[in-house]
Amino acid sequence: MRTPFVVGNWKLHKNIAESLALVTDLKNQLAAVKGVQVGVAPVFTALHSVAKRLEGTHIATCAQDAYWEATGAYTGEVSAPLIADAGAAWAIVGHSERRQFFGDTSDHVGKKACSVLRAGLGAIVCIGEHLAERDAGRTLAVIDEQLAEAIADVAATKVDLASKLVIAYEPVWAIGTGRTATPAQAQEVHAHIRRRLAEKLGPPIAEAVRIQYGGSVKPSNAEALIAEPDIDGALVGGASLDAADFIAIVKAARTST
């Protein structure tokens, strides 16, 4: 009953022309694909052009981050209302690369998630443990800490969290490494996240919120991952830069429902 959601996170790749070429391919080849929601997250400078090119399609445009203040003296930042103004419908917050290289804390992620929701956008909130944390048996404790802060205030935004909130479980050791969590490893964490969502937001919202898996998702492993009961799609990095690979993942998500 949850429509799987597959989002391509292009990270710092593709200029405007390259972004438009890729979305034009996706738009043409995914037009007839039903039963799965699709999004792409280009760099900020391509956001508006991509959103324009995708107008009237079922493919959503997503930002890769959003600052929590709407306006002000914050040189270099882009806020959620401006992302909406550019035509995007979603924003990713809390990606592990933001946490690792740009100092984003779970508290920041919580503020970003609220600003995104208040701007009328959907929020894709990323959480995930490092390898040392998994090896130390701390995976679920880390997930609990990150999730608690990231969604602490989302209920106060009064938006429809069932459709606007997405959690992405991305084990840091699986991102860009070619090393994927097994379907069973991912399912264990996804089921845990859903239990925590039920405690914090209530069972009806927890049942409806999509929980994406991310970390080296490829055409060869997507179907087995998304077939797990609590894995509702994927946040795809490297493989989303190639139209054929991304389309194969989207189709795998659809067929596994």
Calpha distance 108→36 (Å, rounded): 30
Calpha distance 246→16 (Å, rounded): 19
Nearer to ligand PGA, 205 or 222 (CB): 222
Q: Which residue is nearest to ligand PGA (CB)?
A: 237
Nearer to ligand PGA, 47 or 205 (CB): 47
Minimum CB separation of residue 175 from ligand PGA in Å reads: 4
User: Which of 95, 97, 129, 133 is flagged as catalytic?
Assistant: 95
Minimum CB separation of residue 174 from ligand PGA in Å reads: 6
Which one, of 12, 181, 189, lies nearest residue 102 by Cα?
Answer: 12
Question: Which residues have a Cβ under 8 Å from the Cβ of 141 and sit 6 or more positions away?
Answer: none
Minimum CB separation of residue 170 from ligand PGA in Å reads: 6
Q: How many other C-beta atoms are found inside a 10 Å radius of the C-beta of residue 154? A: 23
Q: How many other C-beta atoms are found inside a 10 Å radius of the C-beta of residue 214? A: 28
Please indicate whether residue 48 is annotated as part of the active site: no
Nearer to ligand PGA, 157 or 212 (CB): 212
User: Which of 97, 149, 170, 228 is flagged as catalytic?
Assistant: 170
Nearer to ligand PGA, 176 or 203 (CB): 176
Minimum CB separation of residue 145 from ligand PGA in Å reads: 20
Question: Which residues have a Cβ under 8 Å from the Cβ of 32 and sit 6 or more positions away?
Answer: none
Please indicate whether residue 95 is annotated as part of the active site: yes
Greatest distance between any 2 Cα atoms in the chain = 48
Paired tokens of 242? 């190639």
Helices (H), the chain: 16-30, 44-53, 80-85, 96-102, 106-118, 131-135, 139-150, 161-164, 183-201, 203-208, 219-226, 243-255
Nearer to ligand PGA, 110 or 238 (CB): 238
Where on the chain is the footprint of ligand PGA (CB under 6 A)? Answer: 9, 170, 175-176, 214-217, 235-239
Burial of 185: CB neighbours in 10 Å, binned 0-12, 13-18, 19+: middle
Minimum CB separation of residue 136 from ligand PGA in Å reads: 22
Catalytic residues: 95, 170
